[in-house]
């Protein structure tokens, strides 16, 4: 199994906490994947495309958060054996991980849904990681960052409804609208914007219209 020590300190801490919280709830998990090299990612990407096997990733080398030590995969253990087909257990672990501030691949829209996957980006984008524009101090333990702030369920206060956008800014594309009084569960905060689950993916809404 992959070593958690290969992850960034904060991500390692969250993975260990996930394992502990799962155990308390009666579910054991292991971590088959943590950090991957670019070469390992390219090898995995080739599976199901230029090499035999099923497609297991949509990311080439340098396009996966695994390549930066901020993502890991898990699998439930049932009677001491890996159980890759237990949807209910994956959902259970997914909910626990999200409560800790992790992003769960099980929430991603098809065909990229990734039940075993968690990542912790601290508000940074893939381009930020690729261009080394990441404040790595935020991945140290004991540092509070916007994506670590977990909020209770909130209600929409905008009488005429609240726009849902593709990113954390008013300049991003409008992808939908929430009704007045609708309840949302925040996943992340970023400069006055709140990330939420929306339809088959994610959206961002202005924090100013939530209470």
For residues 148-161, average pLDDT? 75
- In tens, the pLDDT along 50-88 reads 999 999 899 999 999 999 999 999 999 999 999 999 999
For the entire predicted model, the pTM comes to: 0.66
Rounded CA Rg of the chain = 18
Torsion angle, alpha carbons of 80, 86, 91, 97, to 10:
30
- Lookup: tokens for 103: 């992003």
Task: Please choose, from the candidates 16, 22, 27, 34, the residue with its C-alpha nearest in 3D space to the C-alpha of residue 86.
Answer: 27
| Residue 200 pLDDT level (bands cut at 50, 70, 90) | low
Domains of the chain are 4-139 (3.30.1380.10), 151-209 (2.30.30.40)
């Amino acid at each position: 199994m992959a070593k958690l020590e290969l992850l960034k300190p904060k991500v390692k801490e969250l993975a260990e906490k996930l394992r502990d919280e799962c155990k308390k709830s009666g579910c054991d998990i292991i971590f088959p994947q943590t950090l991957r090299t670019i070469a390992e990612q390219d090898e995995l990407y080739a599976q199901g495309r230029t090499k035999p096997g099923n497609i297991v990733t949509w990311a080439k080398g340098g396009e996966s958060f695994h390549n930066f030590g901020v993502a890991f995969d898990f699998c439930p253990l049932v009677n001491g054996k890996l159980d890759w087909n237990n949807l209910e257990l994956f959902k259970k672990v997914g909910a626990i991980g999200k409560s800790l501030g992790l992003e769960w691949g099980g929430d991603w829209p098809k065909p990229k849904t990734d039940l075993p996957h968690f990542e912790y980006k601290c508000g940074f984008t893939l381009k930020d990681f690729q261009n080394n524009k990441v404040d790595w101090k935020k991945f140290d333990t004991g540092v509070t960052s916007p994506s670590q702030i977990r909020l209770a369920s909130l209600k929409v206060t905008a009488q005429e409804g609240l726009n849902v956008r593709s990113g954390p800014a008013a300049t991003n594309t409008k992808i939908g609208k929430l009704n007045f009084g609708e309840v949302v569960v925040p996943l992340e905060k970023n400069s006055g914007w709140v990330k939420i689950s929306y339809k088959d993916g994610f959206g961002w809404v202005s924090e100013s219209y939530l209470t």
